[in-house]
A and B are shown apart, each in its own frame.
Chain A
């Protein structure tokens, strides 16, 4: 690549950076003040593209386009404010990360609402009036609109800086980012502040979306792509730092542009297609930054938020009632093939649910007792699934061997990734795990010669004697029960206690001789291995495995299952996984708008049971006990 071509790609990167910056800045501001990781931020961006498209095409002309951009930003800000007032405000007191569940539900609802209003086709907006031309830069033609975008980013950055430094609202925001309890104690109306911040964040997302319509079509896939990129940018730049967000947006966009620009390069016999490395490169940058500077380039260590959630009850062995209920459930599950003789689909669903239970329980193992909120549990699922499938594909391995290899490969992956992850905590740990999962995903997606790329691996069917559906169901049941039982056993053993000790008070744990990082690292590895079994079973249950089944959405599914059931109870993930898997299956079959329906149900559950289904149930019982005690 010539130097001129290199510079030209760098300019392209700068114009892409502006769009990234708008979303990331909004996300960062919202997180800084409210401590909510707003997964729906990409959805707000997506709405921005659609609204701007509608205004630009309906009104037309310069007024429709430029006026539309301003109007869109304001409308999206209103939507953001409405979300905060109607939904999030009700659950600030819920356990940490529970808001995440709510914003995920919003992603589902908004996506389907957009589908309903605008339809499934991609919509390409008009070109920007006044900026339709292009000028020659370095011997190539660069659209003037891109040049405009290059300058919009820094301009908005400057405006934000002024607003944060000079206005009362800006000062309050900075204060709340540092210590929101103190801001509350000083008599600031927190509700107003939170709504304002949410509206501002949404405004930036809407603006970013609206500005894109002249470059890229509005599509329904935007939401998750944008939120993934925005997470990376925010974490690389440092949570809560606006300048950091811009710096990171530039770095990420430049790295991507550079990869595309490099194209296919020969290294003495090795051919590397860099344009296919864009996905891996982005997450490698993030992983590298987090390892070198755990709080991002311009970020500072997060002040621990004094938890508003209710503290956890001590772990008690299962009561007689729970044991009997578990036994009955087990008997029903064993008899399921008999009960459901006439509906073979029940067994397929049963296998799905059991795999989901194993997946969610292994995630809960590190999330609950370990206090490590992994956003990338799909990595170990994927390693297990691909490990088993590739053994079958390349070495025609028997199923037994392939299934045994699944947890081993996942274990090694978890040992490697976990070693880095346990050095961080909170949101940074979450984001690093997400980055690792994306690296696994991108490697699988882009290493076509080994993994078959987007087509995946086909023909991974169970061998005798498990080649009938009933037999495979029993195998899945046995492994799921064994996995759940072992994880539970570990939690009651000294190791599980040490995990919780390290989570409750790292200071005290170290002071009684515990190596907290090592304990959490091994916990990470155990969870990864068990999750690998779930992945291996999944590959054989479906007969195939493809990259889309191990993507971000699987990691998020796991989070939703754990939070839905209740993170503070051991039965929570089992109930959460079952409910979620059955609901998803049922709705996907019954309506085109299953996402909205599922999102709506999650929202209802979030509002009704802020500590999860099982958590809510437990609380209800204990409340009844205390009232009956008080009465007598």
Chain B
């Protein structure tokens, strides 16, 4: 059974068809990479799946239920976690409070006015931080963290509602190569342990080819390839969008 099914998804900005009739599936427990050059429509695709942008046409189905028109917070409640391209945490809180906030929301305790929030779900929050290796920084202000650590905290936040699907928009953007590998290896381990499906976009091909179960390629809004690492590597169309045809300067060279 497929966890997430995308059917003929399209989105137009002015005259640009940012996403054009894109369809794909993610199976339970699959680690799926969405790649493509800049401007291919990856982020637009993402923002439609998590509810930030309404699609012009097409369907997004999660475990058979339609996501179109739902707000990000409702999509989250269905069991879809997400991380952002530019990591977003609550800067006026400590690391553990960031995670606790997500746990409080998951337990529907947001409108409680009495018991201190810092006393709620502390154990579980520490557990989540331990999973991403951040338990030692639990009581530090989150704004003091290095960027790589912020990304890890974000991952812990995203795991707080025990999601069945995780959406990660460029999880390793702005990180050093070593950090990148560690983070994705961590995600991969969690995926296997918890049986979560993951859809992620990524620019580092090392990361993609080393960890992804399957790769789909977007170019100018269209899905041009779908397969495992080897078939994507050998796909002539993928090579063309990444490396060009070599014909761009031929004309001017002939003069």
- Taking Cβ atoms with an 8 Å cutoff, the residues of A that contact B are 311-315, 317, 489-490, 492-498, 500-501, 503-505, 507-515, 519, 522
Q: List 8 A-B contacts (CB under 8 A).
A: A314-B141, A492-B116, A493-B116, A500-B92, A504-B90, A507-B84, A512-B106, A514-B110
Q: Output the least CB separation between B118 and chain A (Å).
A: 7
Interface residues of A, dominant DSSP: helix
Residues of A with C-beta under 8 A to B93 = 314-315, 497, 500-501, 504
Residues of A with C-beta under 8 A to B94 = 314
**Which of B69-77, B205-213, B220-228, B235-243 has 4 or more CB atoms under 8 Å from chain A?**
B69-77
Residues of B with C-beta under 8 A to A501 = 90, 93, 101
B113 touches A511 (CB 8 A): no
Residues of A with C-beta under 8 A to B161 = 512-513
- Complexed CA–CA distance, A311 and B91 (Å): 7
B97 touches A512 (CB 8 A): no
B151 within 8 A of A: no
The residue on A at minimum CB distance from B104 is A494
B110 touches A312 (CB 8 A): no
- Complexed CA–CA distance, A503 and B117 (Å): 17
B73 touches A492 (CB 8 A): no
Give the B interface residue count (CB, 8 A): 38
B88 touches A505 (CB 8 A): yes
Residues of A with C-beta under 8 A to B102 = 512-513
User: Considering the complex of A and B, which 3 residue pairs feature the smallest CB-CB distances, nearest first?
Assistant: A508-B88, A312-B92, A504-B90
A508 touches B89 (CB 8 A): yes
Residues of A with C-beta under 8 A to B97 = 314, 497
Q: Which of B76-114 contact A (CB under 8 A)?
A: 76-77, 82, 84, 88-94, 97, 100-102, 104-106, 109-114
B73 touches A495 (CB 8 A): no
A512 touches B118 (CB 8 A): no
Residues of A with C-beta under 8 A to B76 = 511-513
B92 touches A313 (CB 8 A): yes
Residues of A with C-beta under 8 A to B126 = none
B157 touches A512 (CB 8 A): yes
Residues of B with C-beta under 8 A to A493 = 112-117
B114 touches A510 (CB 8 A): no
- Complexed CA–CA distance, A315 and B117 (Å): 11
Residues of B with C-beta under 8 A to A511 = 50, 72-73, 76, 82, 84, 88
The residue on B at minimum CB distance from A368 is B92
B113 touches A510 (CB 8 A): no
Q: Which of B135-186 contact A (CB under 8 A)?
A: 141, 143, 157, 160-161
B120 within 8 A of A: yes
- Complexed CA–CA distance, A124 and B234 (Å): 87
- Taking Cβ atoms with an 8 Å cutoff, the residues of B that contact A are 50, 71-73, 76-77, 82, 84, 88-94, 97, 100-102, 104-106, 109-118, 120, 141, 143, 157, 160-161
- Complexed CA–CA distance, A39 and B8 (Å): 54
Residues of B with C-beta under 8 A to A509 = 90
The residue on B at minimum CB distance from A495 is B113
B82 touches A500 (CB 8 A): no
The one of A312, A490, A508, A512 that contacts B113, using a Cβ cutoff of 8 Å: A490
Residues of A with C-beta under 8 A to B109 = 494
List 11 other contacts, CB 8 Å, given A312-B91, A493-B113: A314-B94, A493-B115, A494-B111, A495-B111, A496-B117, A501-B101, A504-B91, A507-B88, A508-B157, A512-B160, A513-B73
- Complexed CA–CA distance, A497 and B117 (Å): 7
Q: Output the least CB separation between B12 and chain A (Å).
A: 21
- Complexed CA–CA distance, A445 and B143 (Å): 48
A505-B89, A514-B73 are known contacts. Are A494 and B120 too (CB-CB below 8 A)? Answer: yes
- Complexed CA–CA distance, A511 and B97 (Å): 16
Q: Output the least CB separation between B70 and chain A (Å).
A: 12
Residues of A with C-beta under 8 A to B105 = 498, 512-514
A-B contact count (CB 8 A): 109
- Complexed CA–CA distance, A184 and B104 (Å): 42
Q: Output the least CB separation between A305 and chain B (Å).
A: 16
Residues of B with C-beta under 8 A to A512 = 73, 76, 101-102, 105-106, 157, 160-161
Residues of B with C-beta under 8 A to A510 = 71-73
The residue on A at minimum CB distance from B90 is A504
The residue on A at minimum CB distance from B167 is A511
- Complexed CA–CA distance, A507 and B87 (Å): 10
- Complexed CA–CA distance, A185 and B93 (Å): 31
Q: Output the least CB separation between B43 and chain A (Å).
A: 13
- Complexed CA–CA distance, A482 and B241 (Å): 66
Residues of A with C-beta under 8 A to B101 = 497-498, 501, 512
Residues of A with C-beta under 8 A to B116 = 317, 492-493
Q: Output the least CB separation between B129 and chain A (Å).
A: 15
Q: Output the least CB separation between B54 and chain A (Å).
A: 15
- Complexed CA–CA distance, A308 and B101 (Å): 26
Q: Output the least CB separation between B84 and chain A (Å).
A: 7
The residue on B at minimum CB distance from A502 is B90
The residue on A at minimum CB distance from B105 is A513
A522 touches B111 (CB 8 A): yes
The residue on A at minimum CB distance from B87 is A508
The one of B113, B115, B117, B143 that contacts A311, using a Cβ cutoff of 8 Å: B143
Residues of A with C-beta under 8 A to B88 = 505, 507-508, 511
- Complexed CA–CA distance, A504 and B92 (Å): 7
- Complexed CA–CA distance, A315 and B100 (Å): 14
- Complexed CA–CA distance, A522 and B111 (Å): 9
Q: Output the least CB separation between B63 and chain A (Å).
A: 18
Residues of A with C-beta under 8 A to B72 = 510-511
Residues of A with C-beta under 8 A to B73 = 510-515
The residue on B at minimum CB distance from A497 is B117
Residues of B with C-beta under 8 A to A497 = 93, 97, 100-101, 104, 117
Residues of B with C-beta under 8 A to A489 = 113-114
- Complexed CA–CA distance, A495 and B105 (Å): 10
Residues of B with C-beta under 8 A to A522 = 111
- Complexed CA–CA distance, A500 and B98 (Å): 11
Residues of A with C-beta under 8 A to B84 = 507-508, 511
The residue on B at minimum CB distance from A496 is B117
Residues of B with C-beta under 8 A to A519 = 110-111
- Complexed CA–CA distance, A497 and B100 (Å): 10
- Complexed CA–CA distance, A241 and B73 (Å): 35
The one of A314, A494, A500, A504 that contacts B110, using a Cβ cutoff of 8 Å: A494
The residue on A at minimum CB distance from B142 is A314
- Complexed CA–CA distance, A494 and B118 (Å): 8
A505-B88, A508-B90 are known contacts. Are A492 and B118 too (CB-CB below 8 A)? Answer: yes
Q: Output the least CB separation between A179 and chain B (Å).
A: 17
The residue on A at minimum CB distance from B74 is A513
- Complexed CA–CA distance, A317 and B141 (Å): 15
Residues of A with C-beta under 8 A to B77 = 513
- Complexed CA–CA distance, A561 and B114 (Å): 27
The one of B82, B90, B112, B143 that contacts A495, using a Cβ cutoff of 8 Å: B112
- Complexed CA–CA distance, A512 and B84 (Å): 12
The residue among A315, A497, A514, A522 with the most chain B CB atoms within 10 A of its own CB is A497
- Complexed CA–CA distance, A254 and B89 (Å): 48
A496-B117, A512-B101 are known contacts. Are A314 and B71 too (CB-CB below 8 A)? Answer: no
The residue on B at minimum CB distance from A568 is B92
- Complexed CA–CA distance, A503 and B101 (Å): 13
- Complexed CA–CA distance, A313 and B144 (Å): 10
- Complexed CA–CA distance, A514 and B109 (Å): 10
Residues of A with C-beta under 8 A to B118 = 317, 492
Q: Output the least CB separation between B75 and chain A (Å).
A: 9
Residues of B with C-beta under 8 A to A314 = 92-94, 97, 141
